Amino acid sequence: MDHATTPAQAKPLDDGEIEALDAYWRACNYLAVGMIYLRANPLLREPLAAEHIKRRLLGHWGSDPGQTFALVHLNRLIRQHDLNVIYLAGPGHGAPATLAHAYLEGRYSEIYPDRSQDADGMQRFFRLFSFPGGIGSHCTPETPGSIHEGGELGYSLSHGYGAVFDNPDLIAAVMIGDGEAETGPLATSWHSNKFLNPARDGAVLPILHLNGYKIANPTILARIPHEELTSLLEGYGHRPYFVEGDDPERMHREMAATLERCIDEIQEIQQRARTGGDLRRPRWPMIVLRSPKGWTGPRMVDGHHVANFWRAHQVPVTDPATNPESLKIVEDWMRSYRPEELFDERGAPVPGLRALAPCGDRRISANPHANGGLLCKDLDMPAFRGYAVDVPAPGQRYLSSTQVLGGLLRDVMRRNMTNFRLFGPDETASNKLTAVYEASPKTWMASMLPEDQDGGELAPDGRVMEMLSEHTLEGWFEGYVLTGRHGFFASYEAFVHVIDSMFNQHAKWLEKAKLELAWRAPIPSINILITSLVWRQDHNGFTHQDPGFLDVVCNKSPEIVRVYLPPDANCLLSVADHCLRTRDYVNVIVADKQPHLQYLDMDTAVRHCTKGIGIWEWASTDQGAEPDLVMACAGDVATMEALAAVQILKDKFPGLKIRFVNVVDLFRLLPDTEHPHGLPDRDFDTLFTIGKPVIFNFHAYPALVHKLTYRRHNHDNIHVHGYRERGNINTPFELAIVNEVDRFHLAMKAIDHVPELRLRGAHVKEWLRDQIIDHLEFAHTEGIDRDDIRDWTWTS
Amino acid sequence: MDHATTPAQAKPLDDGEIEALDAYWRACNYLAVGMIYLRANPLLREPLAAEHIKRRLLGHWGSDPGQTFALVHLNRLIRQHDLNVIYLAGPGHGAPATLAHAYLEGRYSEIYPDRSQDADGMQRFFRLFSFPGGIGSHCTPETPGSIHEGGELGYSLSHGYGAVFDNPDLIAAVMIGDGEAETGPLATSWHSNKFLNPARDGAVLPILHLNGYKIANPTILARIPHEELTSLLEGYGHRPYFVEGDDPERMHREMAATLERCIDEIQEIQQRARTGGDLRRPRWPMIVLRSPKGWTGPRMVDGHHVANFWRAHQVPVTDPATNPESLKIVEDWMRSYRPEELFDERGAPVPGLRALAPCGDRRISANPHANGGLLCKDLDMPAFRGYAVDVPAPGQRYLSSTQVLGGLLRDVMRRNMTNFRLFGPDETASNKLTAVYEASPKTWMASMLPEDQDGGELAPDGRVMEMLSEHTLEGWFEGYVLTGRHGFFASYEAFVHVIDSMFNQHAKWLEKAKLELAWRAPIPSINILITSLVWRQDHNGFTHQDPGFLDVVCNKSPEIVRVYLPPDANCLLSVADHCLRTRDYVNVIVADKQPHLQYLDMDTAVRHCTKGIGIWEWASTDQGAEPDLVMACAGDVATMEALAAVQILKDKFPGLKIRFVNVVDLFRLLPDTEHPHGLPDRDFDTLFTIGKPVIFNFHAYPALVHKLTYRRHNHDNIHVHGYRERGNINTPFELAIVNEVDRFHLAMKAIDHVPELRLRGAHVKEWLRDQIIDHLEFAHTEGIDRDDIRDWTWTS
């Protein structure tokens, strides 16, 4: 920890270079302020007047000058060392900085030719900022060079790590806001350095931007003693360098020297690992940039602190259109950047500035890694049919479907050892995906002990990512796919809610990128397996029972989200194979880890999953005629119980015409007008009839099926059973009973709704009630389900 | 940082005391193992046989011995210093430890007399653990002395802080699992010490349990160098003391001495603050307990590492019922605790053990703070009508409803300066609740600068809790209410999804505590105001638009959740007053911070909110007759647009009979059979008719209204408009238009569905379409809404 708080040794930076860097910085800042204020007179060639000011002032100034400062210096570094650098703006509410930078690099005008590098283009660039139909004040997908929007705070660092995994020559410079640093996801993502292999992966350079304030408060990290902050960052495994102050000249010198030093250290570390084979976890450098919030902006306005205070967060001067004094403050402020020196006659950056930007793809705003679809290679997929489970007859054999999936994932891993990773919070083994360890150990750069080889090996070059933070894993995964690589995330169902909000944000990013930005190439999908499902959380109890993630997912755009509930192993294989080949989706797959009945041989499974919904003839008794009852289901336990109910009904009511429908692709339930996977009404009616009772046994909360089938002709006759928020410590079958997804309740429901059974079914209902009491009593006496349930198989 | 890594000076602990402590520890461990394995022969008075073993082995051993070790030593400390201590088990999957401890203290048998302190009771105690109808393997609400279940990891420390705020003599000993420590919420909650005032609040003693392993991996913090961990914990602002090893005798000595030292330091800090007035943030002590996972359990089983490895996590020996060798391992293991010395003839703990437990309420398992309802005092509430906004006529005046609420909250704060706090992530001012600062500054124990007094003052004795971590805030709030105090949490609507999962877990806790545990006294409700709503996130863009938290909430038990959408300020006052008086709920209030039209004077507002749903006669034209159309709404913008649509329809179609219905209490839409607030079908039918078209303009995703009204007679005629996941940078009205919640789309929908308008309405539809185009064009030219929209008022 010797060097940690020593300021970096300044390499000489000559005055000319300082002047040039400063000019570039002023140009960025000028543009940032222009975006917030101006609708006309973009170059201030006339005196600033009220009519030049936007009618609605929106946008965020506070973190802009610090960010532009870092960007200008990163540019210098890229040119000096021909580096491959992307930039992630953690303080998302500082888009003016990144937008200004992209505009100065010329990249903005390449993508949006109407915002060209001239006076007219600049005016449009200013006007469209935070303007209806224009662009936002975060680094939205519309921002060239961005893979991190920052609309919701906390994920910049994990996104940065995700981007550099398996990208050995990439450096992700991650600006972390000191506000963002207070969030939980950010606070733990510092530990990502225990999973970064300097030989195989690129580097992350965190720049903690200590500008001191959030929206209306100081930040914690800016208000703890210097030594305490140093300890914290060293405790996270970094070697922090501090660049602190407000004098531009001194700050330029220090920033340049510090960045040089960081790059030297990064390259040294990488060299040691790559040629020297030293794979011990290094102490990676990082920078603490302590610069005033709203640096170079107005200090006091109306007697209140603005620069270097939280009031600089958004629009520092709010009334220039109506208050001549304020107008003067804004004009003086903008002219302090000396725009006449920065832009030529036409309004284009002067040649001196242009020369400071890197060229072509080296520009941060044009780096192809930030448009990862461009670099994306298809996965080399093994033939998934090769992993098929033998199913000579439906419903005879119990198997863990995820265990079977493990075999497929193992071989996907083996064939794609540089662009596929598996993510899961300490649960890969628990979730029975253990076969992947045959292809690759778990990634681990912290210290190791001999016993670590006793099951589930750890290694610096492992490709299975396990950390007990769903946030960090999801952040890595998003960073990995946004830069064009593939992955698979497995999580306990109840705790995937931890990343509800991250899912929302990624889905929103994808929607804009996919539907509105032709220049963004499609990226691999986020594939989330939710397992350790509610119906087998009987022993973990109530806290582990929550299938509600699907409700969150189904609120997002139909162009983006897909939900699959494969009922058995062969279906899971088919679904997983499909998902891994897709682009620009979030695919959610629901499949349990426990042994479940297997139903379909591989050919049948493929046909069934391709249709996404279908009649299981072997379980039906309607022989293609109009049925008396449709028994439908989605999910593994739901399917088994629905089948068992059919068996009871067949036995008790021979001649009853039952149609059995299984749903794999949940969005088949929606009309085709609402979702690309939706079934046309005619097809839906053919399956579900237009007037017969449908009993739908569903894996999750029942209202979701009602929502999806709301506009169907027969929806009044659809009776959905699902999780009803009932549970505690139960046997599996008892848990099914208390939520009424068990065979007995389903059969009772059938008797209630099939007119011809209502009368003659009374005694059967009695019998069903007795069965329920009997099973509950047995569970409470013996602590297990009765054998006849546990070993139930289908009899045709 | 001088002392930080110096081991604590061991105070002499005589051999007799060590022996006694060790006996107590062995008794706890014996009971923990017994819970996992035994269905009979609880005291091992016979040789252990297969039939004594449970038929299904469930539960978690790994963290138990470390936790019981800490508990035994905390007991000693409580007795020595007559301390008031509660214990929070972060490693939730270690309930055998806390259950054993509660049983030995006699508290368990007081609450559950069938599990008495004798052989029979012990056998039942063992059997019911992880047994259907019994108790779980986390510290569920059924666990005496628990306020923290730990089923989902990450919240132990923030819960601990919440518990000690305003409880100056309380100490929360928080055991933090090193797995849990990897989660984001836990990682940032260390910073809670910047918000703890040593004069006014109690103390938290974090005990980081470094037992080295999670389910199937080492933990990060156990695998970084000692100095790095020390740096990290010092960086978090603590003074860490390390107790490390596996030799019980040495560990007892060190733990006793270290705890003594920590208590000395805590008391010294408190004294300095309380009598010396020293309110500088101290460096609070904490303990790192590095003990083997599964300590004292079997080391190797079947050639695999178990103790001191991750295999000790759950059931270390899995087949004792069928494998005689395994049976012997279990028997030897259990007998190693020498049960014959620990329990008397009857099976009760020997007197020597009993003497070691604290007495009465000092017992951790009986501390009333962990059954906070017992200590809860009603809020002293000001008369909320005193804050009423003057509304001479409906729909004439714009006001920020949350600003008005700020006044009420200020006076609630003033009258309850020891048991009410306001929580919000750096957004209290942004959310316009600024008036509360008149009653109390923001809590701040980090360093301060003079300019901090320039708006939104900070102070050590502030009661407004602001940190940029929704997780930490919600954790504090939960800890605060679980110990019987009151609060209010305001969050941006989109980002309340960050705590979806915490909400789920708290709702589940409440449900069990409220419905099944008579001994748990009701606690104050969690009150969440969601504001900065989707409809005014036009300028922040798509990332800030997500009203889906309500969907998560509505999946939880109707006994626990309440959702209110007050349309204006007086309604918000009435709703907030009601919520603050309730117990055992999560109340979600949806109200925006921007100026909105005001509709109801206070008397009318109270009547309307008390009913929760009702006809607004002044906006209706049906004169009590059967209407042609019901225009319904919930939410502020939704209400304004619905009213404006009515005005258009009145104007274009004089004579049309429109009924206007506003919904405040969302669960009124459900039938009374499904929710205590549900309307009986008859009342619903009276309001919504049984055959007329209903246009429902809803604040959030439309499917939620469909879900709630699914079983209503008229549901086929209910057409819901709401957020359709469309948005970007828009004007407010443009955002309404693209999601079709605007007046023009609503009026068009009315024309489509009221039979007599369908023909004669064609030209009006044309006109409405023109209006839409006109407004969109204006927005895209001017960047603002047209004046006639912005200043719209109701004309009767």
Residue A34 inside a domain? The answer is: no
* B268's tokens: 């010294």
Report the domain count for chain A: 3
pLDDT tier at B7 (50, 70, 90 boundaries)? very low
The residue range of the domain holding A523 is: 384-447+456-597
Q: What angle do CA A672, A673, A676 make, to 5 degrees?
A: 50
Q: Of A187, A501, A544, which has the smallest distance from its Cβ to B151's Cβ?
A: A544
Residue A3 has pLDDT above 50, yes or no: no
Alpha-carbon dihedral B591, B594, B600, B603, rounded to 10 degrees:
60
Question: Would you say B640 and B660 are in contact if contact means Cβ atoms under 8 Å apart?
Answer: no
pLDDT given at position B11: 53
Chain A residue at shortest CA distance from B129: A729
Of A787-791, B3-7, B398-402, the one with minimum mean pLDDT is B3-7
Q: Which residues of A touch B539 (CB under 8 A)?
A: 56, 58, 130, 136-137
C-alpha span between A684 and A690 (Å, rounded):
9
CB under 8 Å to B93, separation ≥6 — which residues? B60, B62, B63, B137, B138, B150, B313
C-alpha B597, offset from chain centre? 32
pLDDT given at position A1: 33
* A796's tokens: 């045709």
Question: Would you say B407 and B399 are in contact if contact means Cβ atoms under 8 Å apart?
Answer: no
pLDDT tens string A478-487: 999 999 999 9
Cβ A444–B133 below 8 Å, yes or no?
no
Query: A437 phi and psi, to 5 degrees?
Result: -65, -20
Three-state secondary structure call for residue A763: helix
Question: Would you say A426 and B214 are in contact if contact means Cβ atoms under 8 Å apart?
Answer: yes
Of A506-510, B130-134, B612-616, the one with minimum mean pLDDT is B130-134
Establish if B773 touches chain A: CB-CB under 8 angstroms: no
Q: Residue B76: CA atoms inside 13 Å, Cβ hemisphere, count? A: 24
Max Cα separation, chain B?
Answer: 98
Residue A8 has pLDDT above 70, yes or no: no
C-alpha B769, offset from chain centre? 46
CA-nearest of A160, A159, A155, A154 to A172 is A160
Establish if A226 touches chain B: CB-CB under 8 angstroms: no
| Domain identity same for A558 and A618 | no
CA distance B504 to chain A (A): 8
Cβ A236–B233 below 8 Å, yes or no?
no
pLDDT given at position A253: 96
Residue A666 has pLDDT above 80, yes or no: yes
Strand partners, B170: B84
Q: Residue A151: CA atoms inside 13 Å, Cβ hemisphere, count? A: 30
C-alpha span between B572 and B407 (Å, rounded):
12
Last residue of a domain, one of A532, A564, A597: A597
C-alpha span between A535 and A592 (Å, rounded):
9
CB under 8 Å to B357, separation ≥6 — which residues? B75, B104, B105, B106, B363
Establish if B398 touches chain A: CB-CB under 8 angstroms: no
Identity of the amino acid at B603:
D
Reported ipTM: the value is 0.97
C-alpha span between B603 and B65 (Å, rounded):
61
Last residue of a domain, one of A563, A597, A631: A597
Query: A15 phi and psi, to 5 degrees?
Result: -60, -35
Question: Would you say B402 and B431 are in contact if contact means Cβ atoms under 8 Å apart?
Answer: yes
Provide the mean pLDDT of chain A.
95
CATH of the domain at A772: 3.40.50.920
| Domain identity same for A639 and A528 | no
| Domain identity same for B104 and B247 | yes
Residue A178 has pLDDT above 50, yes or no: yes
pLDDT given at position B538: 77
E-state strands within B688-736? 694-698, 718-721
CB under 8 Å to B741, separation ≥6 — which residues? B535, B637, B638, B641, B697, B698, B721, B722, B723
CB under 8 Å to B735, separation ≥6 — which residues? B535, B537, B538, B545, B727
* A600's tokens: 């379909």
Provide the mean pLDDT of chain B.
95
Residue B23 inside a domain? The answer is: no
CB atoms within 10 A of CB A332: 11
The conformational region for residue A277 under phi > 0 = left, psi -120 to 50 = alpha, else beta, is: left
Residue B424 has pLDDT above 90, yes or no: yes
CATH of the domain at B299: 3.40.50.970
CA distance A555 to chain B (A): 7
Strand partners, A213: A218
C-alpha span between B372 and B521 (Å, rounded):
7
Last residue of a domain, one of A543, A569, A597: A597
Establish if B562 touches chain A: CB-CB under 8 angstroms: no
Residue A10 has pLDDT above 50, yes or no: no
Three-state secondary structure call for residue B630: strand
CA-nearest of A581, A101, A736 to A358 is A101
Return the residue in A140, A193, A232, A737 with the most chain B beta carbons within 10 A, the one to mutate for interface testing: A232
DSSP of A610-626: HHSEEE-GGG--STTSP
| Domain identity same for A266 and A308 | yes
Strand partners, B90: none
Of A203-212, B10-19, B661-670, the one with minimum mean pLDDT is B10-19
Mean pLDDT of B426-455: 94
pLDDT given at position B412: 98
DSSP classification of residue B516: H
Q: Which residues of B touch A448 (CB under 8 A)?
A: 223
Residue B245 has pLDDT above 90, yes or no: yes
| Domain identity same for A254 and A400 | no
pLDDT given at position B537: 86
* B674's tokens: 């499904």
* B363's tokens: 């017992």
Strand partners, B289: B209, B243
Residue A416 inside a domain? The answer is: yes
CA-nearest of A146, A143, A110, A147 to A129 is A143
Q: Which residues of B touch A135 (CB under 8 A)?
A: 729
Output b/e per residue, A200-228; b: 16+ Cβ within 10 A: bbbbbbbbbbbbbbbbbbbbbbbbbeeeb
Mean pLDDT of A594-622: 97
CA-nearest of B299, B339, B436, B297 to B122 is B339
Cβ A54–B731 below 8 Å, yes or no?
no
pLDDT given at position A12: 65
Establish if A237 touches chain B: CB-CB under 8 angstroms: yes
C-alpha span between A642 and A621 (Å, rounded):
14
Cβ B152–A495 below 8 Å, yes or no?
yes
Residue A24 inside a domain? The answer is: no
Q: How large is the angle between the packed helices B569-581 and B602-611, nearest 10 degrees?
A: 50
Residue A320 inside a domain? The answer is: no
pLDDT tens string B673-704: 999 999 999 999 999 999 999 999 999 999 99
Residue B8 has pLDDT above 90, yes or no: no
**Residue located via tokens 């068990």:** A742
Residue A205 inside a domain? The answer is: yes
E-state strands within B573-667? 586-590, 595-597, 613-615, 629-634, 658-663
CA distance B396 to chain A (A): 24
| Domain identity same for A585 and A502 | yes
pLDDT tier at A11 (50, 70, 90 boundaries)? low
Direct distance between the N- and C-terminal alpha carbons of chain B, in angstroms, rounded to an integer: 72
pLDDT tens string B67-94: 999 999 999 999 999 999 999 999 978 9
Cβ A466–B217 below 8 Å, yes or no?
yes
CB pairs under 8 A between A and B: 365
| Domain identity same for B295 and B396 | no
pLDDT given at position B788: 84
Residue A255 has pLDDT above 50, yes or no: yes
C-alpha span between B173 and B364 (Å, rounded):
10
| Domain identity same for B578 and B482 | yes
pLDDT tier at B390 (50, 70, 90 boundaries)? very high
pLDDT given at position A7: 44
Residues 679-708 on B with a CB inside 8 Å of A are 701, 703, 706-707
Establish if A56 touches chain B: CB-CB under 8 angstroms: yes
pLDDT given at position A759: 85
Cβ A779–B132 below 8 Å, yes or no?
yes
Alpha-carbon dihedral B494, B500, B503, B508, rounded to 10 degrees:
150
pLDDT tens string A489-511: 999 999 999 999 999 999 999 99
Question: Would you say A442 and A421 are in contact if contact means Cβ atoms under 8 Å apart?
Answer: no
CA-nearest of A66, A64, A70, A71 to A33 is A64
C-alpha span between B85 and B66 (Å, rounded):
18
Query: B126 phi and psi, to 5 degrees?
Result: -65, -50
Residue A723 inside a domain? The answer is: yes
Question: Would you say B50 and B79 are in contact if contact means Cβ atoms under 8 Å apart?
Answer: no
pLDDT given at position B419: 98
Question: Would you say B369 and B563 are in contact if contact means Cβ atoms under 8 Å apart?
Answer: no
Mean pLDDT of A222-246: 98
pLDDT given at position B6: 43
Cβ B541–A140 below 8 Å, yes or no?
yes
Establish if B505 touches chain A: CB-CB under 8 angstroms: yes
Q: Is the pTM of this model over 0.95?
A: yes
Mean pLDDT of B481-502: 97
CA distance B557 to chain A (A): 7
Residue A242 has pLDDT above 70, yes or no: yes
Establish if B216 touches chain A: CB-CB under 8 angstroms: yes
Cβ A783–B182 below 8 Å, yes or no?
no
pLDDT tens string B322-366: 999 999 999 999 999 999 999 999 999 999 999 999 999 999 999
Residue B10 has pLDDT above 50, yes or no: no
| Domain identity same for A700 and A590 | no
| Domain identity same for B388 and B364 | no
pLDDT tier at B1 (50, 70, 90 boundaries)? very low
C-alpha span between B26 and B69 (Å, rounded):
9
Residue A6 has pLDDT above 50, yes or no: no
CB under 8 Å to A662, separation ≥6 — which residues? A567, A608, A613, A614, A616, A632, A633, A634, A639
pLDDT given at position A5: 40
pLDDT tens string A742-763: 999 999 999 999 999 988 899 9
pLDDT given at position B222: 98
What is the three-state SS of B189-206? HHHHHHHCCCCCCCEEEE
Mean pLDDT of A568-597: 98
Residue A22 inside a domain? The answer is: no
Mean pLDDT of B18-40: 97
| Domain identity same for A204 and A169 | yes
Establish if B311 touches chain A: CB-CB under 8 angstroms: yes
Establish if B55 touches chain A: CB-CB under 8 angstroms: yes
pLDDT tens string A704-732: 999 999 989 999 999 999 999 999 999 99
Q: Residue B70: CA atoms inside 13 Å, Cβ hemisphere, count? A: 36
| Domain identity same for B574 and B699 | no
pLDDT tier at A788 (50, 70, 90 boundaries)? confident
